[in-house]
Structure 1
């Protein structure tokens, strides 16, 4: 009798979801963990407190039943009930997915039973609209896909896999670089290599340059495919020089970018292009774990009248099977069916493979990530807690527009400041003049990156790129088209229009100054004197204080002086008038104050209340 082998299908390394999940609101071992925008009734329930008493203590309207508390109010309730507390980030399925994917892709010590193998490379084809992208894919796949197009423009994102000299290659055909960057804006790097198609009789066109910019912004290596060499009279040297002028240095000119001349229509040198793809992706050493819970990225989704929501994904890690439960966007779904790119039903999909999944019930955005899960109970909890948190946040949202302060907060925290911008101007001369002046603004701790430049008004592509790269769009001698205003608002992108170059530079300088790190400034807001010390077993020491100047606020910082000498710097833990908690006490009033981590004050000690301004 033949010896039975173990079922490798079940030999899956199962990561534990609880390592990545922190509940937004929990109370255990006298410690409260909370996020932003918590319902008062929810807090009262979990702490076992009376909601009415909480409202009264915080001075809230007793008639309203669904108050949403801010961080300070939650901390105050915890403090007044001797409860330890910690603020945590609101849970998000998307963040959990990204953390799991990061763990999978950067894991160094897999258990010995985990199988690590080479995965299929993923290649994206980009370029100008009529330079032959789809004809190239049509030739590679030996199908007649071009007949499905209208006006030479690809109608949707497609993904296809071929086998070349025993090597699998997955190709993504985008309808434009906007879709490519849409994936990156959503936190995905789905492609390993970009093939930029350049027409031999046109050289670099507007969308060619945009495609190069988007590939470089995503830090993805590129191959240049000079197409239509069957047309007489093309100038290879001019194309290479045009590429070099745009910062793409071919191997022929001493750079690292391969260039292959092809004719997609005549099937000329396609083998050379595929050989180059295999060579370059081999150097990338693409490997992943196979027998683990699967993860991947959405590249398109749409609704079919007969088949419902169709979601095309590329598997990045593990093996995806029918019946797997996956977290996709903020939903938990079961994979009810799988089909390959030729619409053949399959039971499982491997890393690097594009497939269509059934059972989502909705259409996620391109670039959305998914992970398969084994712990359904915790997965459901993650999704439910997130939806509760999202509802609270929406109720408390004031739909703030983008401001200079929040736009540059991220930059000011970096060691080396990087200022990304996009230039859209009215002429080549204007572009040259503006670029030369901008380059003079770089210094030792600042890099100004022009991630895209062009002659012409702002486009959808520019807005998507600005969103993905956190860039500001500067227009010179143009006005923003009205039909783009809603997209600009939804993306929170800053588009600035100027008609005087000097004012454009002044604005850049002003914004750069906002990114500079500022020394914190201590602002004195009030002074006080301790006139009596009270000690209680449960609360600790309370200072009976008279405010002698200015005012004091709850959570103010305070310096404590004795005989004009600073003895301790701390924060106010609680602020009361008689037995009532208050937010502020002014000059001439008396109050009770407790200090954070300090009880050794004495009568006649002097207090100086202050705030830190950054």
Structure 2
């Protein structure tokens, strides 16, 4: 037997699930919900029960329930608006909940206050029933009395959507959309409920024509009536939608019109103000745009006018200055320099040649003019001839190392200067003034080592007469030739002192012959060079030498003006721990007094004290007088020209020189030319040996620096990161630690704290008193940084007699023909004189034993590492690479 669910039975009968459930319960059939199942017999019983109920209801109220399915005759009426109304019978089928819609029978609901939408509160409380509109329609069509009210039927609902309620007298507005939706939902819900509950009817008078309706199947009647009602409701809904949309549009238009009317003149004034404000803003924006366009156009015209067709150059200038002269952007100049391979900044100085190349690229003509006066230079005063007075000659002792220069000066000064020099070599210039027969002679002692070339050059520039000391037993040496060249370049007369005449091997004629080859021809040979044989050790020929010096000075007529501001040259400078910067000065013109402000390079200050070569304090230093002065702000460079100037002028010029020096140093670091561009690129692969130099005097520091920088090597580059005068301090150690440098102290000693700090930071600190030792140790350090060099040493050769193949390797049965074969040597496999493989020996055996080496005339088995292509007749050559010490 088949079974059906309750909701399926209700659907077939066109009734609600509750009706079927109630009917089943009346017949004592227990069901829990609409999903419960029933038997076919029970279904038949329910159908008969519901059909019988329908017939009974039809007999009680045939006019209200029966309706023809297709051929039914309908009565149509016109309402007050002329609209066509549908049949009243479609709205007579209502359930038991329609009783509340009978407004005439239940007058108490008319007394309830109406809400804003024209509905009474009782209707709002029963929204879930959705029967409001259906009740009104049913009651209206059943001929309810109107008793002076508006009809409570369908026509009235289409006009005001109040569900049959009394029209409010206050004229309040209502929500048409809400009412329409509410009525529409009520129509659908109530119609469905009324169709399925035909067993309950509304009682009351009905105004309709009685028709004879044929008897039909109640189930079929229910289905047919449902379809008719659905079609009718759809037509009604479409009409209502069109009517409400039209009314809504009209209402919106009227509302907008009312709002405009309410605004009146005030709205017009507001609109006028807004329009005027917008117009003002537009005018302002337009004005700003026009001004911006004019400004840009003016800038463009100025830029075009500023582009020069020709410029004047008087000397080096910065990139910014060149851009301003040419009327170009600085970025354009820098870009062009980069294209030429020169990396420059905006404040970097470029020379005239580079500027001319740049100007030519931009199509600008360059006109060279005389350079303007350098603000860092001081104009020298020309002395009138009548103001000049005779001055003592300045004599420089020059010559090769250990040829007796200092010993000769020692004899002249009658003091033992040589004993105080480390290693017997003069480490810095000494300036001394001696008297001979009432005449003063100033002597400058220059070092003889080749490292002090710059010091000798400065000595030659500041001297009147050069005394060239040549050892009679050694003859002309490299430094002797160098001293000759310096003296000639300074156009200084040369007096040759042939020293060490007391030695057995002395040969003055040989010395004269060598000197004549370098342009110094003796007077006795027809030349103009005076040569005096002397012996400093035996004190021979000293007086002849002094007389010759005075004679040459008399011929030169050396004069100077003592009555003017002083001008001189810095012979030596050092930093004294207690006295500060100490400077040895040779006054050349004027007179220097204590308290005057002097300027020497970037150092300036007032002279606090002056002492002569004997340590005596002096107040005035005359021309050709060497003095030691105190009071400078910094240690000046040896060879700087010293001027006595005003205090403000000294300060201003010193500051300008410092700035110029800073720019020069910056340019020197970044200067790139097309010639050495590739070389500088390769320097990135070099190893750097960083060095910090500290010395007792400026001249010694410079000489040591030049000597170290002169050591050239393609793999190691010496980088002097700092050099200064003074003792080694903790800041030097920290700098060396940070940069990985070594510290070289020349004639200076670090204190205990500095040594502890150096040990803590693992800084290599070395001190020297002789320059030879410093240079030799630096060269040794450089050798340690060089890439090791190797040479090949042949150990032996073996001939392959038989090739033995094994699963693991190929063994070459060989016979050692020369030298020996070792198991750790490198090998070459040679076939027909051509090297076909280079590698290492994997295994060396004699019979079945592993051996370390096999000597000549012995057989052995050799297997090569990762190589198997071995044939009979091949030669195995064993060799090793030995490291050799590199040379700097």
When normalised by structure 1's length, the TM-score is 0.51
What is the rounded CA distance, in whole Å, between the counterparts of 1:149 and 1:358 in structure 2?
24
What is the rounded CA distance, in whole Å, between the counterparts of 2:333 and 2:531 in structure 1?
71
* Structure 1 position 165 matched with structure 2 position 437: yes
What is the rounded CA distance, in whole Å, between the counterparts of 1:56 and 1:181 in structure 2?
43
TM-aligned CA distance change 1:54 to 1:224, over 3 Å: closer
What is the rounded CA distance, in whole Å, between the counterparts of 1:185 and 1:401 in structure 2?
29
What is the rounded CA distance, in whole Å, between the counterparts of 1:56 and 1:245 in structure 2?
57
Contact 1:326 1:373 in 2 (8 A): yes
Structure 1 residue 356, shift from structure 2 partner: 0.4
Contact 1:39 1:392 in 2 (8 A): no
SS in 1 for 2:426: coil
How many residues of Structure 1 are paired with residues of Structure 2 in the alignment? 361
Structure 1 equivalent of residue 540 of structure 2: 268
Contact 1:260 1:273 in 2 (8 A): yes
Structure 1 residue 378, shift from structure 2 partner: 3.3
Deviations 1:440-490 (A, max 9, x none): xxxxxxxxxxxxxxxxxxxx999979x9xxxxx9xxxx9769889658xx9
* Structure 1 position 381 matched with structure 2 position 671: no
TM-aligned CA distance change 1:271 to 1:402, over 3 Å: farther
TM-aligned CA distance change 1:54 to 1:240, over 3 Å: closer
Matches within 5 A, 1:326-341: 326-341=598-613
Contact 2:330 2:346 in 1 (8 A): no
Structure 1 equivalent of residue 627 of structure 2: 355
TM-aligned CA distance change 1:253 to 1:384, over 3 Å: same
Structure 1 residue 152, shift from structure 2 partner: 1.5
TM-aligned CA distance change 1:186 to 1:142, over 3 Å: closer
Q: Which one has the bigger strand percentage?
A: 1
What is the rounded CA distance, in whole Å, between the counterparts of 2:314 and 2:404 in structure 1?
56
Structure 2 equivalent of residue 411 of structure 1: none
Structure 1 equivalent of residue 419 of structure 2: 147
CA RMSD of aligned residues (A): 4.5
What is the rounded CA distance, in whole Å, between the counterparts of 2:534 and 2:316 in structure 1?
57
- The correspondence for 2:618, drawn from 339, 342, 346, is 346
Structure 1 residue 242, shift from structure 2 partner: 1.7
What is the rounded CA distance, in whole Å, between the counterparts of 1:39 and 1:380 in structure 2?
27
Contact 2:457 2:486 in 1 (8 A): no
Moved more, 181-190 or 363-372: 181-190
* Structure 1 position 174 matched with structure 2 position 446: yes
* Structure 1 position 399 matched with structure 2 position 638: no
What is the rounded CA distance, in whole Å, between the counterparts of 1:173 and 1:394 in structure 2?
32
Structure 2 equivalent of residue 91 of structure 1: 374
TM-aligned CA distance change 1:336 to 1:366, over 3 Å: same
TM-aligned CA distance change 1:332 to 1:256, over 3 Å: same
Matches within 5 A, 1:12-161: 36-37=317-318, 68=347, 91=374, 93=376, 96-97=377-378, 99-100=379-380, 103-104=381-382, 107=383, 109=384, 115-161=387-433
TM-aligned CA distance change 1:207 to 1:396, over 3 Å: closer
- The correspondence for 2:514, drawn from 217, 220, 242, is 242
Matches within 5 A, 1:455-604: none
What is the rounded CA distance, in whole Å, between the counterparts of 1:312 and 1:298 in structure 2?
6
What is the rounded CA distance, in whole Å, between the counterparts of 1:295 and 1:257 in structure 2?
31
Structure 1 residue 237, shift from structure 2 partner: 1.9
TM-aligned CA distance change 1:202 to 1:320, over 3 Å: same
Structure 1 residue 188, shift from structure 2 partner: 7.9
Q: Which one has the bigger helix percentage?
A: 2
TM-aligned CA distance change 1:158 to 1:118, over 3 Å: same
Question: Larger radius of gyration, structure 1 or 2?
Answer: 2
Structure 2 equivalent of residue 192 of structure 1: 464
Structure 1 residue 312, shift from structure 2 partner: 0.5
* Structure 1 position 288 matched with structure 2 position 560: yes
Deviations 1:172-226 (A, max 9, x none): 0011376875268679820111111111222222322222222223222111111
When normalised by structure 2's length, the TM-score is 0.36
Deviations 1:405-445 (A, max 9, x none): 9xxxxxxxxxxxxxxxxxxxxxxxxxxxxxxxxxxxxxxxx
SS in 1 for 2:461: coil
Matches within 5 A, 1:419-458: none
Contact 1:131 1:199 in 2 (8 A): yes
Structure 1 residue 367, shift from structure 2 partner: 1.0
TM-aligned CA distance change 1:463 to 1:277, over 3 Å: farther
What is the rounded CA distance, in whole Å, between the counterparts of 2:487 and 2:704 in structure 1?
14
* Structure 1 position 220 matched with structure 2 position 492: yes
What is the rounded CA distance, in whole Å, between the counterparts of 1:295 and 1:320 in structure 2?
8
Structure 1 equivalent of residue 473 of structure 2: 201
Structure 1 residue 258, shift from structure 2 partner: 0.3
What is the rounded CA distance, in whole Å, between the counterparts of 1:203 and 1:340 in structure 2?
35
Deviations 1:506-544 (A, max 9, x none): xxxxxxxxxxxxxxxxxxxxxxxxxxxxxxxxxxxxxxx
* Structure 1 position 310 matched with structure 2 position 582: yes
TM-aligned CA distance change 1:479 to 1:284, over 3 Å: same
SS in 1 for 2:424: coil
Contact 1:293 1:319 in 2 (8 A): yes
Deviations 1:354-378 (A, max 9, x none): 110101232222211111113x333
Deviations 1:43-82 (A, max 9, x none): 99xxxxxxxx998999999xxxx9649899xxx9xxxxxx
Contact 1:128 1:198 in 2 (8 A): yes
SS in 2 for 1:160: strand
SS in 1 for 2:599: strand
What is the rounded CA distance, in whole Å, between the counterparts of 1:55 and 1:36 in structure 2?
16
Structure 2 equivalent of residue 423 of structure 1: none
Structure 2 equivalent of residue 301 of structure 1: 573
Structure 1 residue 322, shift from structure 2 partner: 0.7
What is the rounded CA distance, in whole Å, between the counterparts of 1:59 and 1:123 in structure 2?
52
What is the rounded CA distance, in whole Å, between the counterparts of 1:402 and 1:188 in structure 2?
33
SS in 2 for 1:237: helix
TM-aligned CA distance change 1:271 to 1:404, over 3 Å: farther
Contact 1:188 1:369 in 2 (8 A): no
